[in-house]
Amino acid sequence: MIIISCPIKQDFVIETVEAIDTFQYKYEGKNGINLSFSVNTEDIEDAIKVAKAAIKSTEVGAVLYFQVKAA
């Protein structure tokens, strides 16, 4: 499970992360600004790197403040 903390554009982040092909991310819910995702890998650190890169590669994500961490 990973947590993405993002105060704005949460729907955009959810769509972007769920569209990643490398791993299968599934949105599980939110608690305030924290978005929870399950991921189909044991290598959580790699899953975090892939999610960060996917968000940052978008036009909005390049200027969006967010953090990704293991749950």
Domain boundaries, the chain: 2-70
pTM of this structure: 0.92
Q: Extract the tokens encoding 41.
A: 């890998």
pLDDT score, position 10: 96
Q: What architecture is domain 2-70?
A: 2-Layer Sandwich (3.30)
Q: What would the pLDDT profile of 7-30 be if each residue is shown by its tens digit?
A: 999 999 999 999 999 999 999 999
Q: What is the pLDDT of residues 29-70, one digit of tens each?
A: 999 999 999 999 999 999 999 999 999 999 999 999 999 999
Residue 34: in which H helix or E strand, if any? strand 34-39
Predicted confidence at residue 1, as pLDDT, reads 95
9: alpha, beta or left? (left if phi > 0; alpha if psi -120 to 50): left
DSSP state of 36: E
